Structures are given as structure tokens and as C-alpha cells.
Structure 1
Amino acid sequence: MVRQIILTLMVTIALSTMVWVNAFAAANEISGEAFIDAVFENNNLDMAAKILVDDNVPTSAIIKKAKSLGYANIKIVDALADTKLSHEQVIISALRNRIPADAIFNSTKICGPGGYTPDSILRFLVEKELSLVIIIATCKSMINQGSTKYNVIYNLCMTDADTLTIEEVSTQLDVPPATTLKACPRHAEYGHAYISHDLPQEAHIITGVSHLTLDDNTVRGFISDDDAGGVGAEGDIISPKRP
């Protein structure tokens, strides 16, 4: 009998604790949102961002609130750049919360003198292995900012972007295969020199290529494979278009 009473009391206490915890969590969430609202109501964007970041409020919540109040993307980026966050943290947070890369490129706080450039931002994103969706969107923003397709692929190549990334960006930006090959000769190592349809005359489909040399004066490419022996003769010359 005593044992049954004790078990009943334990169950009652456990249920009461669960209700209290759930109520506390809900209240805490409401108070968090109310805190963000109060900070924005009583401060301008720059000061609100600083206060909230100092209080360790997630940047996603700050960006969401700032957007709901109609602040321009570049203003949000500039405000976050003036907080204790590093520029790298601002770049990643902004892109993950659907702020276009154009806003980052146009931010004098991020891309001012001595700061990041669109090229270095793209390389940084590849090095940090951000999602392919973000990388493609950033590449499109670079084109909008006046960068060439050749330059975009070149920067991907210099950061050792994987083949899937280079292929997907090339497809999304409609980069001619010859331009992709010239911007990233390493790409040929994976057997992707499939550019015959983009050349002014017939060319071989190359697979297993280990080396590609492009002559900018003659606009001719020489394919060679030291291990194959004999490859690289006149019959193996390709002539990609200029990018």
C-alpha cells in the first residue's frame, strides 16, 4: 500500500515537472521574441544588431526581424559587420538566411578597401564547403556584378572545387565547355574534355587526359599524356574558342 502511494506521488511529481518545463520553454520563447521586438522598437538597426549580437541572439533571428521591418539587405549586412561578429561569420549568416551575395559585394564594410572581393568571397565559400545552392547563387551574383564566366570558373578551379561543383556552375551559368576547359585545365584530368560541338572544326572527344596546354596566341590546345606515350601528336590538337 505504501509502495503504491509512493509510486503515485512520483508519477504526479513527474507530470507536474513536465508541464512546468513546457510552460517555461514557451514563456522563454515568447520573451525572446518580445526582447527582439523591444530592442528594434527602441533602437536603430545598427544599435539593435549590436545589442542583440552581444546578447548572443542568433543572427538568423536578427536578420528575420530586420527583413520584416523592411530594412534593405545591404543595410542588414552593414549593421552585422559593425558588431563583434567576424566578416566571415557575417558572410555565412547572410547567405544562409537568403540575403543575396550582391548585398555583400556592395557592402563597403565587407568589400571596402583592403577587404573581401567577390573573387575572394567565392573562394572562401568553396573552402568552407557551403552548399552548392549558395555557391551557385553567389556565382550568379558575380556575373550580375560584371564578372566574366571565365573568371568565375577560374576561381572555382583555383580553390580546388570538385568536379560536380564546376559542372553544375557551368550548366547553371551556361558556360561554353571550351571556356570551362580553358579556365580550369585540371577539369580535363577527369575526362571531361567533351567540347567537339563547341569548336569551329571537328575535334576528338578526349578522356583520361592528364595534361592540357593552351596557347593564347594560336588559340590551340595540346593534349598530352606522359604515361600513354605518343599522345600529343598533330591528331590530338584541339582549338577551343576564346572565353
Structure 2
Amino acid sequence: MARAPPWDCLRTMWMQGRWRRAVVSLLLAVSGLLAVAGARERWWPACRPGDFDTPRCLALQDDRYDFTAMPESWVPVGQAAELAGASYAALALAVALLPWLLLRARPPVAAAAGLLLGGTLLPVAAALWLSGRAGEVVDVPLVSASALGWALLWPVAAIAVVATLLAPVLLGYVSHDTTPWTEAVTGGLLVLAALVAWPATGPRRRATPRPSTGTQPLVPVPQTGS
């Protein structure tokens, strides 16, 4: 009996969803780790735990160093922007694959939805990467328009909002501007999402009916008076 070609085996595994689940989880984890690495570029070693009020750390808390929402006066710090751009690129790929797992739709529909969702993050990733390489803010087409797509990606936007609110609680420190290591909290939430994505996107188990015993339920027979 002839064996199926390796490509057919890989294609079968892909269509069954096992590889897609693994790739999505891996991309989410990579995105989270890159976000943590970008945060380290900005905050280490100036903002060690317990040293958030030192002059060096207070200077870095200024929004001029924010690479997630770059102001016109943005100042690069190491390779923080490039790492953030790579993080967004990995997140875009993960988001592009999610419709294949969640919609259970035909391949053309899932591919179109993935391109729409992932495409909203790619301009942001390109802007971060190119700005980091150039050392100044680089205008990338469709960045402003892609902001409208965040309404479709509200779970991703929610991660960023939760990280902004959670960072002061975890660190026990409220900044006058940007709380140190906020991007690292975002990365941690993405790694947590990677761990949740594998079981959450798995095949749904159908309830198996119990086998019939073949006996009829006992029905009480009303007794008549004699």
C-alpha cells in the first residue's frame, strides 16, 4: 500500500487545525516576548525595581520616549521601537490566522477575514520598525486609517488598555507620565493569551448520548378502589 506524500500529511494536519493552533500560540508568545524585550531596551537599567524616582528613570517616563504612540518630538531609546515593530508584526500574523480557528468558515472567507484583521496591524508594525531604524518618526501610509480597524480588534486593544491600568498596580508606582515597564505587562498578557489560545481554539467536543438500556421507565399505575 502506497504511503501518502508528506505534503498531503502536512496539509491534512493544517486543515484539521492542529498546526494552525500551534502557530497562533507560538506567534502570540513571540509577540509577547518581543514586547518585553522592547520594554527592557527603554527601562533597563535606569528603572530598576524600587528606583522609579531616580532622575534617570523620571526622565525616561516622559512621553517623548513612547514608541507605541510616537509624538512629533519622539526620541528613540536603543532598539525599543524596532522590537515593538517586530512584536506587532508577529501579532498581525497571529490575528490573521485566528479566523481560520474561530469562524469555522470556508477557506476563502477565513482568508479574507484574516487579511482584513491582520492588515490593520501591519502599518503600525512598519511605522515602528522604520522609525526605529531611521531614529525619527517615519510616516507610513494607512497608519491613521488602520486605527479604525482597532474597533474590529477590540480584544487586542483591550490588552493594551488593561496593561496600562494594571502596570501601576503590579509595580506599586504611579508615574506622572508613562509608568515604567508598561510594555512588559502587555507582553506578559500576550504570553498568557498564547497559553490560553491552544485549548480555547481546539475542536469542540460533542456530548455523546447515553446508550439505551432497552427498558421502559416505570410508570406508577393508579389503584382503583375495590
Relative to the length of structure 1, the TM-score reads 0.21
Higher relative contact order (CA 8 A, sep 6+): 2
Structure with the larger strand share: 1
Work out which of the two has the higher radius of gyration on C-alpha atoms and give 1 or 2. 1
Relative to the length of structure 2, the TM-score reads 0.22
